[in-house]
């Protein structure tokens, strides 16, 4: 069975500061890993994905994440936070084989302070 743990249900940073959202996964098979962002009353937008190619993955809006197998982690970072980054962020895992559903973490709400 697969699972995802997101450390911190709420993270607050100042505008221009580093954003770090933590995600650890558990999977008995090689995983695919994703970060999605959800703005209020909207759907989930894919930020980036890890699919067993490069371990450092660059996504949209300046976000990136690094897959670390030894730490079973896939933390999301952005060098400089912008007010528009305030949203709910979900880390998700799925199996490599087949059309498998996503298993989401509980989400981390990011607040950006001016």
Partner 1 sequence: AAGVIQSPRHLIKEKRETATLKCYPIPRHDTVYWYQQGPGQDPQFLISFYEKMQSDKGSIPDRFSAQQFSDYHSELNMSSLELGDSALYFCASSPQPNQPQHFGDGTRLSIL
Residues that bind partner 1 (CB under 8 A): 32, 34, 36, 41-46, 49, 51, 90, 96-107
Residue (101 or 114) nearer to partner 1, CB: 101
Rounded to the nearest 10 degrees, how much is the dihedral formed by the CA atoms of 80, 61, 39, 83?
Answer: 30
Q: What letters, b where the CB count within 10 A reaches 16 and e where it falls short, cover 53-80?
A: eeeebebeeebbbebeeeeebbbbebee
Residue (66 or 109) nearer to partner 1, CB: 109
Q: Least Å distance between CB 32 and partner 1? A: 7
Q: Least Å distance between CB 45 and partner 1? A: 7
Q: Least Å distance between CB 101 and partner 1? A: 4
Are 7 and 34 spatial neighbours (Cβ–Cβ below 8 Å)? no
Helices within the chain (DSSP H only): none
Angle, CA 111 vertex, CA 39 and CA 66 arms, to 5°: 80
Residue (72 or 100) nearer to partner 1, CB: 100
Residue (58 or 80) nearer to partner 1, CB: 58
Q: Least Å distance between CB 14 and partner 1? A: 25
């Amino acid at each position: 069975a697969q699972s995802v743990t997101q450390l911190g249900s709420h993270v607050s940073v100042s505008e221009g500061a580093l954003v770090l959202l933590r995600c650890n996964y558990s999977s008995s098979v090689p995983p695919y890993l994703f970060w999605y962002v959800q703005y209020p009353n909207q759907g989930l937008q894919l930020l980036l994905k890890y699919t067993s190619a490069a371990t450092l993955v660059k996504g949209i809006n300046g976000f990136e994440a690094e897959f670390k197998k030894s730490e079973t982690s896939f933390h999301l970072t952005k060098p400089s936070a912008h007010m528009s980054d305030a949203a709910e962020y979900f880390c998700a895992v799925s199996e490599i084989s087949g059309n498998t559903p996503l298993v989401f973490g509980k989400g981390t709400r990011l607040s950006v302070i001016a």
